[in-house]
Amino acid sequence: MKKFTMQDSGRGAISYQDNKRYLWLASVIYPMVALSGIGMYWTTGSEWSFLVPLLFIYGVSTLFDGLFGVDTSNPPEELVGQLEEDTYYRWLTYITIPIHYAVLLILATFVGTQAVSIPAVVALAITGGIYSGLGLVTAHELGHKKSTLERNLAKIVQAVPAYGHFCLEHNRGHHRDVATPEDPASSRMGESIYRFVLREIPGAFRRAWKIEQNRLERRGESRWSWRNEILQSYALTAVLQVGLLVAFGWIMIPFLAVHNFWAWWQLTSANYIEHYGLLRKKEASGRYERCQPHHSWNANHVFSNLLLFHLERHSDHHAHPVRRYQCLRDFPDVPSLPTGYFAMFVAAYIPPLWYSIMDHRLMALPHIGGDLDNVNVAPHRRAVLEARYPKTPSILAEAA
C-alpha cells in the first residue's frame, strides 16, 4: 500500500496511507454490473434475470452501505498535493470511459439481435440508463479539472447518455447558483422529485445554452459554431446512437429513448437529494453568500462512495470544486443523509416517505434553527409548511 510522507518543521513527519486505494477499482468495475443480467439469462434462459442489475444497485448496494458503515477519515491537508498528483487515481476515471461505451454497445447489440419480449427490452434499457448515468459521475469528476485532456474526456463520456450540456451547465451554472431559488438543479423543501424534474431538466438545458451562447458571442462566434462545447458532445451522441439505429433497426428507438431518459433521471435523482431545502443567505449587496459545506447534504457511506468516486462527499466538493475525489474530506457538522444515495433515491421516488425522512432533519439543522426563512421552500407549499413549522418565540425574538 503506497504511503505519502513529508517532513513539517512544526509537526515533524506527516504520513498518510489511503486504505481505500485499491478499493477504488470498484468505480471501474461497477458499470459492468449492467451486463450481469445478460450473463444470467444465458445461464438460466429466464428473462427475470434482466432485473438482477436493478436489484444490485437499489438492494445490494443499500445493504452493503449498512454493513460497511461510514468512513470519516481525511487525508492530512499537507499531503493533499501529493495525493492529487498520484496518476493512479486519474487513470481509474479514464478507464471507465471506454467501459461505458462498451456496456451500451453490448446491451444494444443484445436487444438488436435477440428475440426477447418488450418488457425485457424495457428492463435492459432501464439498466443501461442507470449505469450510463454513472458516466455522468465520471464526467462530473473530470469536467471540474483544469487540464484540457480531462475536460475533453468529460465531453466524450457525457455523450453516452445524450447529456452533452451537463459539464458546462454544472460547472458554470449549478455551482454558481447552488442552494438558491434561482438554481433549477437545487430542490426545494416540499417539492416532489416529479415536480422537480419538470423544472430541472429543461431549466438546466436552457441555462447551459445561454452560458455557452454568451461565451461564444464574447469571442465573436456564432452559437452554432463547431466550437460550441454542447454541440461537440451531442455530435458524438448522434454518431453513436444513429449508428445503433442503422445497425439494429427500429427497436433502438424505444431502447435508446428509455436508456437516455433513465440516465437523465439518475442525475435528477442525485441533484434532488444533494441540496434539498438548503439555502444560501442573500447579503446586503444582493449577492448570495459563498457556498459553504453546510449548503449540501453529505453522506460518508463507504460502499456507495466507492462506486461513485466519492460523489457523496458533496459538501467538500461544492466548497472546493476542483479537489479530486480521493482528497474530498468529511466535515463533522454538515447536513448528513441517513444512508447512501441509492436508498435515498428510492425514498425520493415515494414523496411522503421522503418528506417524513428529510423535512424534520432539514428543520433541525443548526444553521436553520427551525426557521423556514432559512430554507429554500417550494412556493406552492409555503403556506402548508408554515402551518406545520410555525415560528417559535425564540425565533421571533431573534428576528426582532
Q: Which portions of the chain are predicted below pLDDT 50?
A: 400
What per-residue confidence (pLDDT) applies to 6?
A: 73
CA distances to 127, 179, 189, 196 from 351, rounded to whole Å, are 23, 20, 11, 11
The Cα–Cα gap between 131 and 119 comes to 18
With CA atoms as reference, report the closest residue to 318 among 131, 186, 134: 186
What per-residue confidence (pLDDT) applies to 62?
A: 92
With CA atoms as reference, report the closest residue to 296 among 347, 248, 256, 341: 341
Are 315 and 331 in contact by the 8 Å Cβ rule? The answer is: yes
One-letter amino acid of 48:
W
Q: Which residues contact 122 (CB under 8 A, 6 or more apart)?
A: 254, 258
The Cα–Cα gap between 187 and 191 comes to 7
Q: Please identify which residue in the block is written with the cell numbers 418565540.
A: 393
What per-residue confidence (pLDDT) applies to 394?
A: 62
